[in-house]
Amino acid sequence: MERLENQFYEIPTLELAEKLLGKIFVRMLPGNIALRGRIVETEAYLGLHDEACHAWRGMTPRNRIMFHAPGTMYVYFSYGSHYLLNIVSEPQESAGALLIRAMEPVEGIGFMEKQRGQSKLTSLMSGPGKLTKALAIDKSCNGRDLFGEEFFLEDAPPVPESMIGTSARVGISRSRELPWRKFILHNPHVSKVRLPE
């Protein structure tokens, strides 16, 4: 498959939230072990006017990666329990990123099962903490980009607009009304979430 280069990420964040759906996230491990997951759910976070975004008060040591170039990975530890993978999406010096909330396993499933300690396919990557564990992504990946030999995205046919769902974001207490979560309708690998009322 064709790899996605810099220009793919150089579009507005809310547009990229949909464009990422269906694309293949790839991690190549030593020994030529390929891990691939199809992105089925994203969630947008946008800089200074989004109070749920880490960068809404400006740059700090924790969030400085969000101000890097589009296509950079922003990985952080959440709630003291799991890592979350985000793809930086705004022009350099601005802040914005897309949380990758769920993927559909494509390749390297045996490795993912060992990482997760379970084998139910629809549960392997059906949440943001699950997918980072399945892909062995941790803080050491923070600041890496998607243009090297270890991490990259592969192109895939676009998901039809009629197959894209939209909702409020999940698990936040501020800016809850923004409909910035995108997902592939009826895909069994999308996270099972309770939306804000």
**What is the pLDDT, as a whole number, of residue 22?**
98
**What is the pLDDT, as a whole number, of residue 145?**
97
**What is the pLDDT, as a whole number, of residue 1?**
81
CATH 1.20.200.10 fits 6-184, yes or no: no
Instruction: State the Cα–Cα distance between residues 78 and 107, nearest whole angstrom.
Output: 26
DSSP lists the bridge partners of residue 28 as 34
Helices (H), the chain: 6-9, 13-19, 109-116, 128-134
Residue 43 is which amino acid? E
Q: State the virtual CA torsion across 21, 113, 1, 3 in degrees, nearest 10.
A: 70
Instruction: State the Cα–Cα distance between residues 39 and 106, nearest whole angstrom.
Output: 10
**What is the pLDDT, as a whole number, of residue 54?**
64
Per-residue buried b or exposed e for 21-49, using 16+ beta carbons within 10 Å of the residue's own CB: bbbbbbbbeeeeeebbbbbbbbbbbbbee
**What is the pLDDT, as a whole number, of residue 167?**
92
**What is the pLDDT, as a whole number, of residue 173?**
61
Residue 94 burial by Cβ neighbours in a 10 Å radius (0-12, 13-18, 19+)? middle
**What is the pLDDT, as a whole number, of residue 55?**
64
Looking at the chain, the number of H-run helices and the number of E-run strands are 4, 8
Name the residue with tokens 């809850």: 176
Which residues, given as ranges, of the chain have pLDDT below 70? 48, 50-59, 172-173, 175, 194-197
Domain ranges of the chain: 6-184
**What is the pLDDT, as a whole number, of residue 53?**
58
